[in-house]
């Protein structure tokens, strides 16, 4: 339980830091920066990996709690807000928040929101930058949230992703 409480404190600090970083433009690069197609393709690959991990986590949570909607069950207090579970033989910490869930597995952070009609395949620059942070073997792990946003803008222009901007998850992008 002590570890779960520590995880919640870290989560709150990261969330606060995110709010500060999104209110300031000092991280954003000029939109005319040169982003190669190779970098965009690598980012798409990472996003697809993120989505597959989210689906695996959601499936594991559903199985653990014997539910079809873990978020609704947390809101109705049928599921604890935080706790520990095993995924692929690894110990993982979860923490439900707002419209989503944050998972911490070894050195990996995965935060996702439930979107329109309970969709879990949405993503945004902050969640992808958090996911990439520990992937030091890839240049994209050094991209700031603003740089990832610029990549998202390009992918949206190219018709690869879209942002429906509907509640819940008005901030989430999806592959077309």
**Tally of structural domains, the chain:** 1
Give the model's pLDDT for residue 118: 87
Residue 146 lies in a domain: yes
> Which tens digit of pLDDT belongs to each residue from 62-105?
999 999 999 999 999 999 999 999 998 999 999 999 999 999 99
| Mean model confidence pLDDT for the chain | 83
pLDDT band at 137 (very low <50, low <70, confident <90, very high): low
pLDDT band at 143 (very low <50, low <70, confident <90, very high): confident
C-alpha distances (whole Å) from 45 to each of 135, 141, 175 are 13, 13, 12
Residue 107 lies in a domain: yes
Q: For residue 17, is pLDDT > 90?
A: no
With both helix axes pointing from N to C terminus, report the angle between 125-132 and 37-65 in degrees, rounded to the nearest 10: 90
Q: Are 38 and 30 a contacting pair, CB within 8 Å?
A: no
- The mean pLDDT of 46-52, rounded to a whole number, is 96
What element of type H or E holds 91? Answer: strand 90-97
Residue 23 lies in a domain: no
Residue 137 lies in a domain: yes
The 3-state secondary structure of 92-145 reads EEEEEECCEEEEEECCEEEEEECCHHHCCCCECHHHHHHHHCCCCCCHHHHCCH
Strand-strand pairing, 174-175 and 161-162: antiparallel
| Segments forming the whole domain that contains residue 132 | 2-18+28-175
pTM: 0.79
Residue 35 lies in a domain: yes
Is the backbone peptide bond immediately before 135 cis, with ω within 30 degrees of 0?
no
Q: For residue 52, is pLDDT > 70?
A: yes
- The mean pLDDT of 40-56, rounded to a whole number, is 95
- The mean pLDDT of 100-118, rounded to a whole number, is 92
Helix (H, G, I), strand (E, B) or coil at 79: coil
Q: In what order do the strands lie in the sheet with 90-97?
A: 82-87, 90-97, 100-105, 108-113
- Give Cβ neighbours of residue 125 (< 8 Å, ≥ 6 apart): 145, 146, 148, 149, 152
Residue 64 lies in a domain: yes
d(CA 117, CA 104): 25
In percent, how much of the chain has pLDDT > 90? 60
Residue 33 lies in a domain: yes
Residue 38 lies in a domain: yes
């Amino acid at each position: 339980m002590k570890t779960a409480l520590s995880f919640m404190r870290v989560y709150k600090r990261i969330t606060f830091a995110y709010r500060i970083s999104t209110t300031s433009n000092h991280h954003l690069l000029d939109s005319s920066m040169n982003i190669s197609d190779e970098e965009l393709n690598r980012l798409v690959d990472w996003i697809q990996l993120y989505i597959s991990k989210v689906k695996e986590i959601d499936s594991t949570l559903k199985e653990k709690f014997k539910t079809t909607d873990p978020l609704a069950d947390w809101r109705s207090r049928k599921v604890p807000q935080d706790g520990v579970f095993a995924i692929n033989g690894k110990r993982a910490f979860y923490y439900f928040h707002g419209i989503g869930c944050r998972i911490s597995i070894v050195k990996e952070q995965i935060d996702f929101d439930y979107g329109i009609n309970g969709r879990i395949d949405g993503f945004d620059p902050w969640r992808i930058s958090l996911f990439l942070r520990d992937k030091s073997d890839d240049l994209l792990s050094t991209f700031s949230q603003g740089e990832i946003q610029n990549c998202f803008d390009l992918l949206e222009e190219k018709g690869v992703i879209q942002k429906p901007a509907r509640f819940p998850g008005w901030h989430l992008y999806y592959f077309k």
